Amino acid sequence: MLLLVYLFRKSSRPHWPAWLAQALIGYALGAAVVLAFWLIFAAGGGLQLHAPRLSSLQMLHAVLLGWLVASTEETVFRGMTLELLGQRFGLLTALSGQALLYAGLHLLRPQALSLSGMIMLCGLFSVGCFLGLLRLHTGQLACSTGLHAGWISFSMIGAWSQALSWSPECILWSGNGNPAQGLSGMICFALLSAGLWHLLPAHRQLWHNEAKRQ
pLDDT for the residue 153? 94
Which residues are 165's β-sheet partners?
48
CA atoms of 5 and 12, how far apart (whole Å): 10
Residue 141 lies in a domain: yes
Q: Does any domain span residue 10?
A: no
The 3-state secondary structure of 120-189, one letter per residue = HHHHHHHHHHHHHHHHHHHCCCHHHHHHHHHHHHHHHHHHHCCCEEECHHHHHHHHHHCCCCCHHHHHHH
pTM of the model: 0.82
- Distance separating alpha carbons of residues 185 and 125, to the nearest angstrom: 11
Give the pLDDT of residue 63.
Answer: 95
| Side chain identity at residue 163, one-letter code | A
With a cut of 70, which residues of the chain have pLDDT below it?
Answer: 1-14, 109-116, 177, 200-214
28's CB contacts (< 8 A; 6+ apart) are 146, 150
Residue 91 near residue 197, CB atoms below 8 Å = no
Residue 70 covered by a domain = yes
Total domains present in the chain: 1
pLDDT at 12: 54
Q: Domain of 149? A: 16-44+53-213
For 48-63, what is each residue's pLDDT tens digit? 888 888 888 999 999 9
What integer pLDDT is reported at residue 151 of this predicted model?
A: 92
Question: What integer pLDDT is reported at residue 211 of this predicted model?
Answer: 42
**Which pLDDT belongs to residue 44?**
81
Q: Considering the domain boundaries, does residue 1 fall inside one?
A: no
> How far is the C-alpha of 148 from the C-alpha of 31, rounded, in Å?
9
**Tell me, what's the pLDDT at 116?**
67
Any domain includes 8: no
Residue 3, domain member (yes or no): no
Q: 157 in a domain, yes or no?
A: yes
pLDDT > 90: what percent of the chain?
31
Give percent above pLDDT 70 in the chain: 81
Q: Long-range contacts for 176-181 (Cβ within 8 Å, ≥24 apart)?
A: 177/38, 178/151, 179/33, 179/34, 179/37, 179/123, 179/151, 179/155, 180/120, 180/123, 180/124, 180/127, 180/151, 181/116, 181/119, 181/120, 181/123, 181/124
Q: What is the pLDDT of residue 31?
A: 93
Residue 124: inside a domain: yes
